[in-house]
Amino acid sequence: MGRMVGPILERFLSTDEVLAVFEPHAFVQAMLDVEAALARAEAAEGVIPAAAADAIAAACDARAFDLDALAADGARAGSLAIPLVKQLTAAVRSRAADAAAWVHWGGTSQDVIDTAMALCTRRAHALVDAALARLADAALDLAAQHLETPALARTLMQPAQVVSFGFKLVAWAAPVVRIRARLARAAREGLQLQLGGAVGTLGTLGAAGPAVARRMADALGLALAPGAWHTQRDAWVALGCEVGVLCGALGKIGTDIALLAQGEVGEVTEPSGEGRGGSSAMPHKRNPVAAMIARAAALRAPARVAALLAAMPQAQERGLGDWQAELAEWPGLWIAAHGSASALAEAVAGLAVDAPRMRANIEALHGLVFAEALSTLLARELGKARAHEFVERLTARVLAERRSLCDLALEAVAADGTLQGRVARDAIAAVFDIEGAARRAADVARPQLAALRPHRQDRNPA
Amino acid sequence: MGRMVGPILERFLSTDEVLAVFEPHAFVQAMLDVEAALARAEAAEGVIPAAAADAIAAACDARAFDLDALAADGARAGSLAIPLVKQLTAAVRSRAADAAAWVHWGGTSQDVIDTAMALCTRRAHALVDAALARLADAALDLAAQHLETPALARTLMQPAQVVSFGFKLVAWAAPVVRIRARLARAAREGLQLQLGGAVGTLGTLGAAGPAVARRMADALGLALAPGAWHTQRDAWVALGCEVGVLCGALGKIGTDIALLAQGEVGEVTEPSGEGRGGSSAMPHKRNPVAAMIARAAALRAPARVAALLAAMPQAQERGLGDWQAELAEWPGLWIAAHGSASALAEAVAGLAVDAPRMRANIEALHGLVFAEALSTLLARELGKARAHEFVERLTARVLAERRSLCDLALEAVAADGTLQGRVARDAIAAVFDIEGAARRAADVARPQLAALRPHRQDRNPA
Amino acid sequence: MGRMVGPILERFLSTDEVLAVFEPHAFVQAMLDVEAALARAEAAEGVIPAAAADAIAAACDARAFDLDALAADGARAGSLAIPLVKQLTAAVRSRAADAAAWVHWGGTSQDVIDTAMALCTRRAHALVDAALARLADAALDLAAQHLETPALARTLMQPAQVVSFGFKLVAWAAPVVRIRARLARAAREGLQLQLGGAVGTLGTLGAAGPAVARRMADALGLALAPGAWHTQRDAWVALGCEVGVLCGALGKIGTDIALLAQGEVGEVTEPSGEGRGGSSAMPHKRNPVAAMIARAAALRAPARVAALLAAMPQAQERGLGDWQAELAEWPGLWIAAHGSASALAEAVAGLAVDAPRMRANIEALHGLVFAEALSTLLARELGKARAHEFVERLTARVLAERRSLCDLALEAVAADGTLQGRVARDAIAAVFDIEGAARRAADVARPQLAALRPHRQDRNPA
Amino acid sequence: MGRMVGPILERFLSTDEVLAVFEPHAFVQAMLDVEAALARAEAAEGVIPAAAADAIAAACDARAFDLDALAADGARAGSLAIPLVKQLTAAVRSRAADAAAWVHWGGTSQDVIDTAMALCTRRAHALVDAALARLADAALDLAAQHLETPALARTLMQPAQVVSFGFKLVAWAAPVVRIRARLARAAREGLQLQLGGAVGTLGTLGAAGPAVARRMADALGLALAPGAWHTQRDAWVALGCEVGVLCGALGKIGTDIALLAQGEVGEVTEPSGEGRGGSSAMPHKRNPVAAMIARAAALRAPARVAALLAAMPQAQERGLGDWQAELAEWPGLWIAAHGSASALAEAVAGLAVDAPRMRANIEALHGLVFAEALSTLLARELGKARAHEFVERLTARVLAERRSLCDLALEAVAADGTLQGRVARDAIAAVFDIEGAARRAADVARPQLAALRPHRQDRNPA
C-alpha cells in the first residue's frame, strides 16, 4: 500500500515519480526541512542558540510523525502547520528541553507551508523538465529522419496541401523547447522562499530578518523574494500558468497523434509491447495511450489554472479559503503535466511512422491538394479569377470521374485556346510533384530544426 | 497509514468519510461489485452457468487484489479494468477453472468503471445529503430563535438597512433545502447503470441484454438508462453541475460568516474548542475555519465543473482522454462539497450570535440606515425630489456633527414651514424604530421559514 | 450599423436572432418593461395612483433613451439602473409632474436588472428550444432512414465493431431531447421575478408587497420566487449549468461530424451551397462549419459556467463584483448555445451520408472488427483463453498477409484437430456478416427511437 | 449609437477606450492593415507589382466595407477573412483591374485574422500598461505618505498585528510593477506576425517568404516568429495568462479596498463626486465602485484564461472550433483588465484614508494584537510554554473585563514571583507601542518602496 498515492483514477494518468513528490510523507518532510533550515539560519545569525538549532534539525524526520493525527488536528486548527509545530516541539523537547522553545521561532504557518510547497514543486519541475528534454529530443530526431517524407497537411480537419512529416514534427517540438525555457524562467521567478512571520513583517526576527531569509533561501535553493508574498501570489501563479500552457501544447501533440493513428489514416502508431494500449475485448486494437494521457491533461489543466487565478484576490495579510484552495489545486497541475510529458516522450521516441501510408493518403486525393498551386500557375496567363474558375471546373470533374487533377489539367491546358503552348507540360507536372512539395516544407523546417538542435547539443555534450 | 487517503492539502479541507468513499480500495471493490452483479444477472438470465456466477462473485473481494500492480498495468493498458479483469480471471480460475471463461462476459472496461463510479457517488451523495440536512436544520433552528433580532443588512459591502438575523438565516437555509431536493433529483437521473459492451450495443449478450441490464440496475440500486451512455454524459455531468451549484451556495454562507466574524463587526463567532481555529502565533485569534473550508470549496468547484463540461464532446463510441479526464476530476467535486457542508453544519449548529453587537452596529450608524424610510415619509408632503434633498442635507449633518438622524429630523421638521404640524413626531420616531424594522423583516421571513420547516418535520417525525 | 451587435468574432459563431435578444436597446427595453409592470402592479394594489402608473408605462420606451449616457453614468454609479431611473423620472415628469415621484417606487436596481435579464433570457431560451427541436427532428428522421445502414463504431479513436449509422444518430438525438426537457424545467424554476426592494424585504411596499409581486410575475410571465434571490442565485445558475451541459452534448455531435467528415473517412459531409465552408485558397475543400461552431461553443461554455458558479458566494444582501460579473458572463452562454444548436440543426438536416463509404471503411479492416465475435464463438469449444490465443494468431496474419480474417478463420478451423467439424462454416460466416451486425445495432436503437419520436409527434400533431 | 460597443453589462465594467480597440470597425481595419502591409512587403521583395500594392493599400479603408455583409457571409464561410478578401478584391478591381489578382497573395485567412488580433492587442496592451503605471504611481505615492501610519494587519479575516498602511500599499503596488514588466515581456514574445500561407509553409511566396515576413513584421511593429504559429499558440496564450494574473492581483487590491471601506471598518473610502457610487435608495451610501469592477474582472478572467488554454490542442495545421473559440474569448480578457486597472488607478489616486479610524480600530482591540510580542518578551524568563500560558490567562481577562492587555500585564508581572523586577515596565510598555510597531513595518517596506520607485522615476524623468 505504501506507494498507493493519490486517487486511483488520477494516478493512472500520471507517473509514480511525480506522485511521490507530493505524497503526504514527502510534503510533511518538506515542511520539516523548512523548520530545520529556519532554525539553522537563525542560529547562524545568533537569533537562537546553535544547540537548539541542532536539536531541532535532528528531530525533523517525517518518519517519526503521526500523519493521521496531523491531518485530523490540522483540519480542526485550520492549518497543517499548527499540529506539525506541536508534534515537532514535543519531539525536540524529548531530546533537549531547552531547545523546544526555539522551534518555529519567528515563523508562521504560511511560511512553512508555502516554502514546503515550493520545495516539492522544484522537484516536480525537475521531473517535468527532464521529460520535456526527452520529448523534444525524440521529436527532433524523428524530424531529422523524416524531414522530406511527404505528408498531408490538414486544416479544419480536412486535407489541405502536401508538407513533410518532419515539418510537422518541428512544429510539435518548437513549443516544447520554448515552454521548457519559459518554465525554467518562471520557476526561477516563482519558486521563492516564503518568510514573513505572522503578518509579513518578520516581526519577531527584527533586524536579523533579512539575513535569516537570505541564509534560508540559499540553503533551500529557492529565490529570495523582495518581501513576504503571503497574499501576493503573482510569480507563483504565473508559474502555474506556464504549466497550463505546457499541458495545452502537449495536448496538441496528443491530438495530432490520435488523429494520425486513426484506422482510416494509419500514418503513425504508438509503440506497443508490455500491455500497452491493448483491448481485452478487441484483440486487433492498439489504443493510443499516450495521446489519451496528453489529451486528458490538456482538459484538466485549464480548470486548475482557473482555480489558481480565481484564488488570487486574497484578503489583506492572509487569505481565508483562497490560499488553501490554491494549494490544494497546485499539485494536480504538475501531476497531470508530468504524466503527459512522460507518456509523450515515450510515445514519440517509439513512434512507428508509416511513410508509404502517408504517401498513399496524398495520392488518394487525386492531386486535389495541388489545386491552389495549379491555380497560381495558371493565374499568370488567365488572371486570378479566371484561373480559379478554370481549376474549379477541373476539381469538380476529379470528384465525378475519379481521375487525377494532373491528367485533367494537362488535357484541359492542351485544349484551351489561351493556354496551349503558354503553359508547359513540365510546369504543370512540377505543380503536382509530391516530393517537391515535401522538399519545400523541409526547407522551411530546416532552419528551425537547426535552431532547436543546438539547444539539444548544449545539454548532451557527449 | 491505512487512512492516509488523498493529497494532504485536500484532505485537510474535507472529511475522512467522503475520502474513504473514493479511496483506491473502495473504488476497486466497487468495480468488483459490478463484476459480481454482472455475473449474477447473467446467470439469472441463463447467459452463463449459475456455478460460474457463484465462483466469480466469491472472488470479488478487493482485499485479495494487488492494487499497485493494478495501477501500473492500468497505466500501460490505458484502462484500469483490463488488469482488474486479468487478476479477477486468475482468482476465479484458481477456484473453478471452468468459471474463469465467464468473467466480465459481455462487459467492457467502461461499463465496469462508470458503474463503479456511480456506486461510489451514490455513497458520496448520501453523505452530502445528510450534511445538508444537518446544516438546514441548524440554520432554520437558529432562524426561529433570531427571527426578530435586529441586524444590519449590507449591500455592496456597505451598511444598508435594518433586517433581522433570522431573515438572513432563512436566506442561507432556503438554497440549501432547494439544492438538497434538486441534488436528489439529479442523483436519481444521473446515477445510472452503465452497460453497453464494447460499442454500446450489448453485442455479446444479444437478446438477453435488456433483461440482464434490468437485473443489474435493480441489484446495484442504480437507474436503468435507455441505452449505454458511454459518450452521452449529460445526466451524469448535470449531477456534477448541481454539486457545483451547491458549493457556490455554501460559499455564500461561508463568506457571510467570515464577514460577520470580522473583529470590527463581531456579530457571530464560529464554535471553538478542541483546537478549532486557533493560532499558534496569536493567542487571541479564533479563525473561522468552517468559513475557510466553504470558501475554498466554492473556489475549487467551478473549475472542476468546467473540466467535466469540457470533457463532454467525447468522440464517437468511447472518448480518448476526455472520458478519463472526467473521471479523474469527478471525486474531487464531492470531496470538496462534503467538506464544505459538514464544516458549515457544525459551525452553524454551534454559532455564537452576539445580538447586542448587532444592535450596536446599527446604532453606530446614527440612524442613517433609515434615511430612505424618512425620505419616503416626507415625500408625502414634499414630493419625492424635495424630500430627497431635505434628507440629504440632514445626512450630511449626521456625518459632520455625529448626531443621530432622528434627532436632526425632529428638529428640522419642527423648524420647517411646510412640515411642522403635518408630520407627527411619532411618525418620525416610528421610522427610526429598530425593532419595528426587524419585525417587518421577520414578517417576510416567517412564511418562508414555515415552508422550509415542514420539510424538516417530515424527516424527523419524532 | 444598427445590427452590428456584439464583438465580431463572437457574432460569427452565433446567430443574429439571439444576439438581438441581448443587445443594448433590447436590454434597456426589458428594464423599462419591468418598471412599467412594477408601476401597473402597484396601481392595481392601490400603492400608487393609477394615473401615475399610466404615465410611467407610457414613458417606458427605450427608443427615447440616451443609451450612451446610460452606460457612461452607469459606470460611475456602479449600476445601470440608477441612470435609467433618472432618465425615466425626467421623461415621466415632462408628461405628468405628479407621476414622477412614483417611478421605481419600492424597487431597487437589482430588481430591475435581474428581472430584465430574466425576460431577455426567456426569449433566448425560446430560440434555443426551437433550434433543439429542429435538431432532434433532423437527427431522428435521419436515424429512421439509416437505422440499418452498416457503419463502424470507433472507440478511443480506433475502429472497434460494426453498428448502424442510425444507432449513432439516436445516440446524438437522445441527449438533445433529454436536455431540451431539462432546460425547460430549469427555465421554469430559474426564470423568476426579482422583487425585494433595497435589502430583500420589500420594505417600502409593506403589506402590499406579496400581492404586487404576484401581479408582476403574472404580467411578465416569470415564476414567483419564495423571496428575493438577490444573493441566492442557485436556481438561476442551475439554468446556466444546463446551457453548459447542452453545449457539451452539442460539442459531441460536432466532434463526431468533424471526425466522420475527414478526407480519409468521408462518411458524412455538411451541406454546402451559398458560400458555406468554402476555402479561398483550396477550391476542393468543404469545411465542416457547423462542427466548427459547435466545437467552439463547447470550448467556451465550460469557462462561462465556471464564472457563474465562481460568482455565487455573494456577500450578505447584495454582491460586490460577483453579481455584476455573473450578469456580464450570462448572455455569452446563450449566444454560444444558440449558435451551436442552429448550426447543427441546419447541418444535420442537410447532412450528406455516404453509405457505400461507410461500408468500404468496414471492409478495409479485413474482418478484424469481428475478432471478438469470432473469439466468443470459438470459446464454446476451446475455452476463453485458448480461443483468444487462436484468434490473436489469426489477426496477426491478417495484418501481415492482408487477407480477410474470415477466410483465415475458415481455413484454420478446418485444419484444427479440435475444431474441425465442431464449428460450422455457416456459423463462422455469420460472425462476419456486416448487415447482421448492423441489424443487431438497429434492434438496440429502435425502441429508443420510438421513445424519442412520440415526443416529436406530440409537438407536431399535424 | 456609434459608440455603443459590446454588451451593455460588459461595457459597464470597462472603459470606452479599450472597447473601441476591439469593436468591429477597428478589427476590420486591422485586418485591412494586414492586407496592405502584406501587399507592400511583397512589392518591396518583387513578388507583386508595386502598382498593385499601391492600389491594394489605397482600398484598405474599413469605412468603405459592409460589415453586416461581412459578418453574415463570414458565418457561412466559416471565416471572416474570406468575405473580407472578396470585398477587398472588388474594391481594388474597381480602382485597378490588374491589381485585383494580387490581393491577399500568398496569405491565408488565419494569417490575416491572427495578425489583426495581434495589432488590436498591442493597442489594448498599451492602454493597460498606462493604467498600471498610473495605479502603481498612485499606490507608491500614497505608501510614501502613509509609510508609518499605524494600521491593523488582518489574517484569515481576523485582526492580527499592527503594521503600517504604507506597508500594505507597497504590497499592493509591488505585484502591479512586477506584472507590468512581465506583461511587457509577454507582449514582446507573444505579439507576433502570423504569416504561413495555407498550411504554414508560405508555399506561394517560395524563397521570398522569409524576407516578406521580416518586412511585414517591421512595418506592423510585431515580433517575427520562427515559423507560422497557426496551431502553436504557446506564446500567445502565455500573454493571455499574464492578463489573468494581472486581473487576480488587481482583484486583491479591490478586495482589500472593499474590506477596508466597510462601514464597521471605515479606514478608506473611494473618491466620490460626479455620481460615483451613489445609491438611489440609500442617500448615505457610497459604494466602492472601483473595488466592484476589480472584483468582477478577477472573477471573469480565470474562466477566460481557462478557455484559451482549453483551446490549445488545435488539430494538425489549423484548428476546427478551438482556434475560433480562442479568438472569441480573447478581447474580453483585455476589456476586463483595462476596466479594472483604470478604475483602481482612479480610486487609489483619490483614496480617502482615515488614519484616526485605523488607530481607533487598533485600540478597540485592547492590546490583544500584541499578545504574541508579549509572549515573546516573557519567554526569555519563563520559557515559551509557560509564557504562552501566562499570556493566555491575561487575554481571557481582557475579553471578560474589557481592560487593556498592557495594564493587565503590568499588574500581573509586578505580582508574579518570578517576573517581578526581571521584566522592566518600560519593556512591557514598548511591546504595546503602536507607533513602534508601525515603524518596524515601515522599515520592512522602505527598501521595497525605494526599489519600486526608481522604476517610476525612470519613466517620468521630468
Distance between D174 CA and the closest CA of chain C, angstroms: 23
CA geometry: angle A377, A380, A384, nearest 5 deg: 85
Beta bridge mates, D163: D151
Chains contacting C (3 or more CB pairs within 8 Å):
A, B, D
Whether residue B283 and residue D388 make contact (CB cut-off 8 A), yes or no, is yes
Inform me whether the pLDDT recorded for C408 exceeds 80. Answer: yes
E-state strands within A327-432: 352-353
Site of grid cell 485458448: C386
With beta carbons under 8 A apart, name residues in chain A contacting C155: 285
Indicate which residues of C carry an active-site annotation: 279, 318
Site of grid cell 489578382: D101
With beta carbons under 8 A apart, name residues in chain C contacting D280: 81-82, 85-86, 104, 109
Q: Across the interface, which of A204, A379, A384 has its CB nearest the CB of D376?
A: A204
Say which residue, A418 or D434, is predicted with more confidence: D434
Residue D66's pLDDT is what? 93
Query: Which of the residue ranges A117-121, D66-70, D180-184 would you say has the lowest mean pLDDT?
Result: D66-70
DSSP state of A174: H
Chain segment B188-209, per-residue pLDDT in tens: 999 999 999 999 998 888 889 9
Q: Across the interface, which of B283, B310, B369 has its CB nearest the CB of D310?
A: B310
Chains contacting A (3 or more CB pairs within 8 Å):
B, C, D
Q: Across the interface, which of D156, D372, D375 has its CB nearest the CB of B292?
A: D156
Whether residue D302 and residue A299 make contact (CB cut-off 8 A), yes or no, is no
Instruction: Quote the CA–CA distance of C234 and B371 in Å, as a whole number.
Output: 32
Instruction: Quote the CA–CA distance of C272 and C261 in Å, as a whole number.
Output: 13
Catalytic-residue membership of D386: no
Chain segment C321-355, per-residue pLDDT in tens: 999 999 999 999 999 999 999 999 999 999 999 99
Which residue out of B108, B147, B164, B252 would a mutagenesis test of the C interface target, given it has the greatest number of C Cβ atoms within 10 Å? B252
Whether residue C249 and residue B242 make contact (CB cut-off 8 A), yes or no, is no
Catalytic-residue membership of A279: yes
Inform me whether the pLDDT recorded for D462 exceeds 90. Answer: no
Task: Tell me the residue type at A171.
Answer: A
Calculate mean pLDDT across residues A132-144.
98
Chain C: residue nearest A300 by CA?
C302
Residue B5's pLDDT is what? 39
Whether residue A1 and residue B2 make contact (CB cut-off 8 A), yes or no, is yes
Is the reported ipTM for this assembly greater than 0.90? yes
Residue A270's pLDDT is what? 95
Whether residue A156 and residue C288 make contact (CB cut-off 8 A), yes or no, is yes
With beta carbons under 8 A apart, name residues in chain D contacting C303: 303-304, 306-307, 310, 329
Average pLDDT, chain C: 92
Instruction: Quote the CA–CA distance of C172 and C255 in Å, as a whole number.
Output: 11
Whether residue B198 and residue C305 make contact (CB cut-off 8 A), yes or no, is no
With beta carbons under 8 A apart, name residues in chain C contacting A309: none
Give me the helices (H) in B67-162, please: 67-77, 81-95, 109-145
Q: Across the interface, which of B161, B179, B252 has its CB nearest the CB of C198?
A: B161
Which residue out of A284, A378, A432 would a mutagenesis test of the C interface target, given it has the greatest number of C Cβ atoms within 10 Å? A284
Rounded (10°) CA dihedral B371, B374, B380, B381 = -100
Whether residue B286 and residue D388 make contact (CB cut-off 8 A), yes or no, is no
Chain segment D348-374, per-residue pLDDT in tens: 999 999 999 999 999 999 999 999 889
Calculate mean pLDDT across residues B66-86.
88
The DSSP annotation for D102-164 comes to GTTTT--HHHHHHHHHHHHHHHHHHHHHHHHHHHHHHHHHHHHHTTT-EEEEEETTEEEEEEE
Whether residue C276 and residue D77 make contact (CB cut-off 8 A), yes or no, is yes
Give me the helices (H) in C261-354, please: 289-310, 322-349
Chain segment D436-453, per-residue pLDDT in tens: 999 999 999 999 999 998
Chain segment A277-306, per-residue pLDDT in tens: 665 555 566 789 999 999 999 999 999 999
Indicate which residues of B carry an active-site annotation: 279, 318
Distance between A19 CA and the closest CA of chain B, angstroms: 9
Size of interface A-B (CB pairs under 8 A): 234
Domain limits of chain D?
1-107+196-225, 109-144+160-192+229-354, 360-452
Whether residue A263 and residue C159 make contact (CB cut-off 8 A), yes or no, is yes
Burial D98-111 (b: 16+ CB within 10 A, else e): ebbbbbbbbbbbbb
Size of interface A-D (CB pairs under 8 A): 274
Distance between B287 CA and the closest CA of chain D, angstroms: 6
Instruction: Quote the CA–CA distance of D212 and A345 in Å, as a whole number.
Output: 36
Residue D459's pLDDT is what? 44
Whether residue C80 and residue D8 make contact (CB cut-off 8 A), yes or no, is yes
Let me know if domain B1-107+196-225 sits in CATH 3.60.21.10: no
pLDDT band at A15 (very low <50, low <70, confident <90, very high): very high
Calculate mean pLDDT across residues A211-216.
97
pLDDT band at D2 (very low <50, low <70, confident <90, very high): very low
Residue B317's pLDDT is what? 97
Candidates D95, D279, D380, D425; catalytic one? D279
Query: Which of the residue ranges A211-220, A301-310, B199-208, D329-338 would you say has the lowest mean pLDDT?
Result: B199-208
Whether residue A284 and residue C258 make contact (CB cut-off 8 A), yes or no, is no
Residue B277's pLDDT is what? 66
Q: For the structural domain made of B109-144+160-192+229-354, what CATH number should be given?
A: 1.20.200.10
**D360-452: CATH superfamily:** Fumarase/aspartase (C-terminal domain) (1.10.40.30)
Calculate mean pLDDT across residues D380-387.
85
Residue D275's pLDDT is what? 64
Which residue out of B264, B289, B292, B372 would a mutagenesis test of the D interface target, given it has the greatest number of D Cβ atoms within 10 Å? B264
Chain segment D230-257, per-residue pLDDT in tens: 999 999 999 999 999 999 999 999 999 9
pLDDT band at A316 (very low <50, low <70, confident <90, very high): very high
Chain segment A323-370, per-residue pLDDT in tens: 999 999 999 999 999 999 999 999 999 999 999 999 999 999 999 999
Name the residue among D8, D6, D272, D268 with its Cα closest to residue C79.
D8
Q: In chain A, pLDDT over 90 holds for what percent of residues?
A: 81
**How much is the pTM?**
0.96
Query: Which of the residue ranges A70-84, B230-244, D345-359 would you say has the lowest mean pLDDT?
Result: A70-84
Chain segment B447-460, per-residue pLDDT in tens: 999 999 875 554 44
Distance between B210 CA and the closest CA of chain A, angstroms: 20
Inform me whether the pLDDT recorded for D287 exceeds 90. Answer: no
pLDDT band at A321 (very low <50, low <70, confident <90, very high): very high
Chain segment B318-356, per-residue pLDDT in tens: 999 999 999 999 999 999 999 999 999 999 999 999 999
Instruction: Quote the CA–CA distance of B460 and B454 in Å, as a whole number.
Output: 10
Q: Across the interface, which of C283, C292, C302 has its CB nearest the CB of A392?
A: C283
Q: Across the interface, which of A283, A286, A372 has its CB nearest the CB of C371?
A: A283
The DSSP annotation for D440-458 comes to HHHHHHHHHHHHHHHHHHH
Site of grid cell 507601542: D433
With beta carbons under 8 A apart, name residues in chain C contacting A262: 154, 157-158, 259, 262, 264-265
Is the fold of D1-107+196-225 the same as that of D109-144+160-192+229-354? no
Whether residue D104 and residue C280 make contact (CB cut-off 8 A), yes or no, is yes
Per DSSP, the three-state class of D223 is: strand
Whether residue A299 and residue B80 make contact (CB cut-off 8 A), yes or no, is no
Whether residue A361 and residue C264 make contact (CB cut-off 8 A), yes or no, is yes
Whether residue A296 and residue B82 make contact (CB cut-off 8 A), yes or no, is no
Q: Which helix (H) or strand (E) covers residue C1, if one does?
A: none
Label each residue of A223-291 as H, E or C: ECCCCCCCCCCHHHHHHHHHHHHHHHHHHHHHHHHHHHCCCCCCCEECCCCCCCCCCCCCCCCCCCHHH
Q: Across the interface, which of A85, A280, A293 has its CB nearest the CB of B82?
A: A280
The DSSP annotation for D31-71 comes to HHHHHHHHHHHHHHTTSS-HHHHHHHHHH--GGGS-HHHHH
Q: Across the interface, which of C156, C233, C306 has its CB nearest the CB of B302?
A: C306
pLDDT band at D384 (very low <50, low <70, confident <90, very high): confident
Chain segment D87-97, per-residue pLDDT in tens: 999 999 999 99
Distance between D447 CA and the closest CA of chain A, angstroms: 9
Residue B283's pLDDT is what? 58
Whether residue C375 and residue A286 make contact (CB cut-off 8 A), yes or no, is no
Distance between B425 CA and the closest CA of chain A, angstroms: 45
Task: Tell me the residue type at C449.
Answer: L
Q: Across the interface, which of B258, B291, B365 has its CB nearest the CB of D263?
A: B365
Instruction: Quote the CA–CA distance of B42 and B47 in Å, as a whole number.
Output: 5
Distance between D44 CA and the closest CA of chain B, angstroms: 47
